Structure 1
């Protein structure tokens, strides 16, 4: 009679349906049918030549399964009760592409009767099997009381042969067995492959028994059994070890020898199977429900956990990430605004300093040329030529300085525009500075400076003043010699002194004229420098204001666009966060329900295992 485990199993089925897992729902339904079947389905598996077929023969005390040194079992062989001995090959239809092969144990199929003397051929797959059909198995019916009590034995090919053939089919699937007997002979300890097989079966099946065969061939089979128990304990496989000898069992059956039968170990094995048969509707069913609950919960929780993890990834790359990026853009624009204003102020200050230095250097070069020229030239003679040269030189200096101003302002504008490089596009203002054609018209008029001229009367007076001294000095000297004061010698010396006096006075007047002209030109150039510098300062301030207005407008446009993007990203992030939080609550609620279902299933067997697979990773 089914107990609470059936309610738990039905709840598992409803949970599978609620999660949209039709495959798991089908599996649970098939497990329900299997657990409600009063028969005990015993699956015998193991490597080749371990005595699986002989083990089944010894259990039923009949040569049901063919045995031999070669490969005798190719198709799974189901040995069950029948009123008269019978053999048939049951072959399912070809696999349906819409349903995985082996998804369910077929209850119907094409049955091909096999003569009793052709059992070996049927089990070997050479008789009664239609090529191109689905999975097949051999069904053997025997009139045995043990089988009549509800015991069904399933012989299988060797595990390595089943893998080579692709699969043994649903009839040999451990999922549809109530008890799994793993067969290993006593000639050696469990191999690594057998331990791996035991681990795999024990994970998905609650009732596994290791049957150690051929104890009659190995004197120290007890030591082998003890070492096998140690291996199972170390591997964490909760499977008992039952040593048996099929040869002793069959020999005891022939002679009705109870002691030999007890020595064969089969009473222990059969007793275990009978207890499993009696407890199938309670103990075995509870354990099976606990195992299928773990399997179902793990498969249902895995996509939920993966979705939670994917949401964490999406949180870093979805709307929240775009919101953070928009916030970074706002902060970056704020820093960019500070940078371009500082850059503009620094660059304009540098432009003004460079322009003033350039103009000062050019005017100083002109003044040096003026000094060199008027160290020897007479302003009275070369003034007109010099005036034309000076005006031309100053005009050229002003034009060159203005060209330098244009280049420096363009460079400053590009430096400021570089601070907006991350926003792309051409952010330079649509402006240009050209050299005006009338720079020379703004020069102040250069007037001829007032200089002293060396007139004829001045030359006469200067000559008479110089000749008088010479005439008097020589005339007094010649009077001592008895000569008159005015004589040819004194007159000649007086004329010589008069000429020298005229030449000296002429040189002094020239130097005074040169000094006056240099001073006048110095003042004129200084006036030119002040006036042009004022124009350059005005031009620089005008350019600075123009650049400031342009980049301020550009900053406002960018700020408006970024603010719109930020608001849109924030709205999307808020919406996404609300949807994600709602979905996370739904997922956690589902996982909580799965954890409750898992705990309820574990309570059927008295287990208290924590549903670790349900916990989302931090």
Structure 2
């Protein structure tokens, strides 16, 4: 009846694993069921190398079952069990194949007899082991009363970390052991690796014992044992510490010395193993069921909790959240619309001012060059060359100004597009600003201005006027000296004054011609500036209208997409709410059942009576 209580709980755990679709856990529970129903007590001896694990087993059975030595003697796990006559065999599982593990249960596999004198070679892995096969171990049978009562001892290779314990297959795995003895000698306190191993074993196994060996070699082994107990208490590991000496045990057995045997500490250890053997079907089984129940419930509840949390997160980030997000997008799009309109207006205003200033600066530079040229040049001589230069200079100024206009329009379009950066994609419009065929089209052609020419008759009249004054002035002066009015001196001075009059008149006419030409060019350049400025303003307004229309259409398109998303989220909210609520109820019901199953398993180890079986045990 006692076995039926924990067995019913274990069977219910198996059914729960099947209901959750966890075949791996179901297989583990079934294997644990087979192990717990086995009346034998499997004792797994683990620990680091050179700690005396093999000698400990030899001392327990009082026979040289496991090879010992200073080197690495144990490579394969060694199973010591009862047999009518001493025997040894190498058991090797078949190689692992897809869908089948290398060894499902301890004791299964191909058996190869090993001569007793070659047991050390078999344990060292150099005899009888087939290449490419699965995990292997050595099985030794001895006719011992202690082993005949159901005790099975498993010696394992030395290891530095608990994760490597299962590397040799299920034979050396703590999951298949009823009791785990972790061996550490008395020459030092527990190492960090041993403490880590103990923590790992305590979490996954209900019955762990720390065996402190080689007490005969260390006088203060009791102090070491006490410090080890403190380490275990600080780590939260409820494992007893049993100090022993295999050398004293074997010496006492050889001399049948009871006092020496008691001093070896082995009566305490063997008594513990006998109590575990007697309590396997009740106390140990209850504790094992409690551990496997905790493991199974944790693994089954973890995805349920994760799904429940994801359901809650989905509820927070589901259609209603998307609806709020869509409303925020509408508000952001409204602010974006205000930003891009203000940006467009500011950029176009700055563009008009800059383009007009640039054109004005270029035409002023041309006028300065005109003034410099006609301060010395005669329009009558250089007009044709100058007219060609002026037309070319104005055309180049218009083209340069137009090129800058294109670059500035493109830059302004990108500035406006930057306000839509959060929506991604290429939002620039496919637009271009082209220059007219003739930048000066519509501007009247510069005609040669009407300028006064200095004709021969004008030169003659100017010369006579100047010479008459000189002749008269000098002639009157010479008459006072008794000379006639017309004399060589007065004629020479008159000729000199006549030439000066001609030169002065020529310079005055040149300055008048230069002033007339500068005035005419000034008017022509002003006409050119007004005409080109009008074209630039028209082009800027055209670009502004095009950008306005493009980004307005883009804003409307984004707004329509957000509205569609809003409607879709509203429809999805009504549909998903019922499905989500139903799934949450199912998850909570499964969690409640798992909690009830966990409580049942914990009642087995808490001393409280377990509830009635959920279903009849098959």
Structure 2 partner of 1:59: 60
Q: Report Cα offsets for 1:299-349 as digits up to 9, x if no partner.
A: 223333444455566667775664444222322344466678999999999
Q: Is the 8 A contact 1:211 1:243 kept in 2?
A: yes
CA drift at 1:388? 29
SS of residue in 1 equivalent to 2:605: coil
In 1, Cα distance between equivalents of 2:315 and 2:173: 44
In 1, Cα distance between equivalents of 2:69 and 2:469: 166
392-401 or 32-41, larger mean C-alpha shift: 392-401
605-614 or 327-336, larger mean C-alpha shift: 605-614
In 1, Cα distance between equivalents of 2:247 and 2:200: 30
Pick closer, same or farther for the CA change 1:299–1:490 going to 2, 3 Å.
closer
Pick closer, same or farther for the CA change 1:514–1:63 going to 2, 3 Å.
closer
Pick closer, same or farther for the CA change 1:589–1:383 going to 2, 3 Å.
same
In 1, Cα distance between equivalents of 2:489 and 2:114: 177
367-376 or 593-602, larger mean C-alpha shift: 367-376
In 2, Cα distance between equivalents of 1:341 and 1:167: 71
Pick closer, same or farther for the CA change 1:482–1:548 going to 2, 3 Å.
same
Pick closer, same or farther for the CA change 1:52–1:609 going to 2, 3 Å.
farther
In 2, Cα distance between equivalents of 1:128 and 1:383: 118
Q: Report Cα offsets for 1:98-122 as digits up to 9, x if no partner.
A: 3455x73244211111122222222
In 2, Cα distance between equivalents of 1:445 and 1:130: 109
Pick closer, same or farther for the CA change 1:494–1:585 going to 2, 3 Å.
same
Pick closer, same or farther for the CA change 1:470–1:308 going to 2, 3 Å.
same
Q: Report Cα offsets for 1:80-114 as digits up to 9, x if no partner.
A: 1111211111111012233455x732442111111
CA drift at 1:9? 1.3
CA drift at 1:182? 0.8
In 2, Cα distance between equivalents of 1:233 and 1:284: 22
In 2, Cα distance between equivalents of 1:377 and 1:393: 18
CA drift at 1:150? 0.8
Q: Is the 8 A contact 2:161 2:196 kept in 1?
A: no
CA drift at 1:271? 0.7
In 1, Cα distance between equivalents of 2:271 and 2:146: 11
CA drift at 1:394? 24
Q: Report Cα offsets for 1:526-558 as digits up to 9, x if no partner.
A: 999999999999999999999999999887666
Q: Is the 8 A contact 1:162 1:168 kept in 2?
A: no
CA drift at 1:398? 21
**Based on CA coordinates, which of the two structures has the bigger radius of gyration?**
1
Q: Mind listing any 5+ residue stretches in structure 2 that lack a counterpart?
A: none
Q: Is the 8 A contact 1:112 1:128 kept in 2?
A: yes
> Number of residue pairs matched?
617
CA drift at 1:56? 1.1
164-173 or 108-117, larger mean C-alpha shift: 164-173
Structure 1 partner of 2:4: 3
CA drift at 1:36? 0.8
Pick closer, same or farther for the CA change 1:423–1:84 going to 2, 3 Å.
closer
Q: Is the 8 A contact 1:93 1:134 kept in 2?
A: yes
In 2, Cα distance between equivalents of 1:90 and 1:479: 164
Q: Is the 8 A contact 1:462 1:502 kept in 2?
A: yes
413-422 or 333-342, larger mean C-alpha shift: 413-422
510-519 or 577-586, larger mean C-alpha shift: 510-519
Residue 141 of structure 2 is aligned to residue 125 of structure 1 = no
TM-score, length-scaled by structure 2: 0.65
Q: Is the 8 A contact 1:336 1:419 kept in 2?
A: yes
Pick closer, same or farther for the CA change 1:366–1:282 going to 2, 3 Å.
closer
In 1, Cα distance between equivalents of 2:128 and 2:412: 96
Q: Report Cα offsets for 1:572-597 as digits up to 9, x if no partner.
A: 35544554444444334333332332
CA drift at 1:434? 15
Structure 2 partner of 1:334: 334
Pick closer, same or farther for the CA change 1:165–1:156 going to 2, 3 Å.
closer
CA drift at 1:25? 1.1
Pick closer, same or farther for the CA change 1:473–1:329 going to 2, 3 Å.
same
Q: How does 1:588-607 map to 2 (within 5 A)?
A: 588-606=588-606
CA drift at 1:438? 21
Q: Report Cα offsets for 1:23-57 as digits up to 9, x if no partner.
A: 11111110111011111000111122221111111
133-142 or 535-544, larger mean C-alpha shift: 535-544
CA drift at 1:226? 1.1
502-511 or 110-119, larger mean C-alpha shift: 502-511
390-399 or 179-188, larger mean C-alpha shift: 390-399
Q: Is the 8 A contact 1:19 1:300 kept in 2?
A: yes
In 2, Cα distance between equivalents of 1:456 and 1:120: 143
Pick closer, same or farther for the CA change 1:545–1:596 going to 2, 3 Å.
same
In 2, Cα distance between equivalents of 1:195 and 1:78: 25
In 2, Cα distance between equivalents of 1:226 and 1:385: 116
Pick closer, same or farther for the CA change 1:344–1:602 going to 2, 3 Å.
same
Pick closer, same or farther for the CA change 1:586–1:608 going to 2, 3 Å.
farther
RMSD: 8.4
TM-score, length-scaled by structure 1: 0.65
SS of residue in 2 equivalent to 1:89: strand
CA drift at 1:142? 1.2
594-603 or 406-415, larger mean C-alpha shift: 406-415
578-587 or 138-147, larger mean C-alpha shift: 578-587
Q: Is the 8 A contact 1:301 1:613 kept in 2?
A: no
307-316 or 504-513, larger mean C-alpha shift: 504-513
130-139 or 3-12, larger mean C-alpha shift: 3-12
Q: Is the 8 A contact 1:466 1:500 kept in 2?
A: yes
Pick closer, same or farther for the CA change 1:612–1:380 going to 2, 3 Å.
farther
Structure 2 partner of 1:30: 31
SS of residue in 2 equivalent to 1:128: coil
Q: Is the 8 A contact 2:49 2:158 kept in 1?
A: yes
Q: Is the 8 A contact 1:106 1:170 kept in 2?
A: yes
In 2, Cα distance between equivalents of 1:170 and 1:521: 108
Pick closer, same or farther for the CA change 1:99–1:297 going to 2, 3 Å.
farther
SS of residue in 1 equivalent to 2:613: helix
CA drift at 1:78? 0.8
Q: Is the 8 A contact 2:165 2:173 kept in 1?
A: no
SS of residue in 1 equivalent to 2:493: helix
Q: Is the 8 A contact 2:166 2:172 kept in 1?
A: no
In 1, Cα distance between equivalents of 2:384 and 2:63: 146
Residue 137 of structure 2 is aligned to residue 104 of structure 1 = no
SS of residue in 1 equivalent to 2:138: strand
Pick closer, same or farther for the CA change 1:491–1:48 going to 2, 3 Å.
closer
30-39 or 384-393, larger mean C-alpha shift: 384-393
Pick closer, same or farther for the CA change 1:581–1:492 going to 2, 3 Å.
same
Q: How does 1:405-484 map to 2 (within 5 A)?
A: none
In 2, Cα distance between equivalents of 1:177 and 1:499: 140
SS of residue in 2 equivalent to 1:366: helix
